[in-house]
Structure 1
Amino acid sequence: MTKDSVAKDSVREEPADSGTASPGPTSTQSIADATPPSAEEIAPLLECLLLMAEEPLEPVVLAEAAGAPVPLVEQTLRELADRYTMSGRGFQLRQLGGAWGYATRPEYHDRIAAWVRAGGQNRLSQAAMETLSVIAYLQPVPRSRVSAVRGVTVDAVVRTLIARGLVEERGTDDHSGAGLLVTTSYFLGRLGLNSLSELPDIAPLLPDASALEAELSNLADRTGSESGVMEQASADEENQS
């Protein structure tokens, strides 16, 4: 065997170096990594979110926080609600107006209300304090207007205030027929007041309640007027075209 033939054989035995990197994850692996979580995986997270929330949460909000599809979140919420009922828990997970939240079971409401009124839970949350203040200074006021002033839904907070005997519904609005919220004599007693006229003036820290109400009305009127002008201008352009 000659030196040339040995050299050729050595060249053939060396592996070819293409200069390319090893192949990465396949498309099948990528799809597997993007697989949505299961109901068992997101159930604990949904419980945490609902416990932290001061208001019931809609499935789309929970889905965004959990990184899961809305149908899966809705299915998990229903399963959790059934699980609490089957296990005889003192609380329930229920859906109200499309939103989900925790609540005590009706059979315990009387005992809980008595405990709350007796001072078993003296501290109000920040949301409850703000809502109570709006009702106190704008009463009698429908729930929708309280929500408009605060910028959030106040249904759950109002239920808490009613359960504590601080607020009640009395009468209805002449235009909408909605119930009107007012404070109670218990509210006055807790503050040591004889009448609502003794409520401290919120000025100069905040505008007077009537001034605030007038400003909100003016803002609504301006918004409606601007919308009407824009619609009229758009209609004129269409007619000219």
Structure 2
Amino acid sequence: MKKINIKQLEMQGIPDGSNYESIIEAVLFASGEPLKIKQIASIIECNEKHAKRILDNMIIKYNDEKRGIKLICINDSYQLVTKPENSNYVSKLLKTNSRQSLSQAAMETLAIISYKQPITRIDVDEIRGVKSDRAILTLQDKGLIKENGRLDVPGRPILYSTTDEFLKSFSIGNLEELPHLDEFLIKNEDSDDKDL
């Protein structure tokens, strides 16, 4: 196997491997949007497995160090975000509070959509027992849910599902990480037993 000349690689603009993290950090910062692992691997000119190892290591470093940002992975896309404990200070800078809490109705609606997606508004209404029009509008405005096609029945009602913003807001990497509903049933049964 031919030995790689690091100096030659650097002169050609190809990273030697020691500054991959720096390059990834700069690219993610400049992008501002999530980048797929495939895209990152292409940029740093290595295979996806190696890029994933570097990114996983970076996630650990950001979490361990006292930094104002962290690296997250959502559906195989990576993004730099503000740590939750610093969001109030960033809001002061932006003079907005986009993370206003959701109403009870919006939270119920979001929970139903997250577990039953894709789902129609009518199905959400039936589960909740009340209309959910306003809650769905609020969730769409906040970018937590989106239209995801139409059901193939007369009237073709809109189907709703959660977004990557939902995953980011609740610090979930993908939908498989949602707690199983069985966990909630066990907790509720335990609290009911304590009341007796």
Higher RCO (CA-CA < 8 Å; seq separation 6+)? 2
Give the number of the structure whose alpha-carbon radius of gyration is greater: 1
Q: TM-score, normalised by structure 1?
A: 0.37
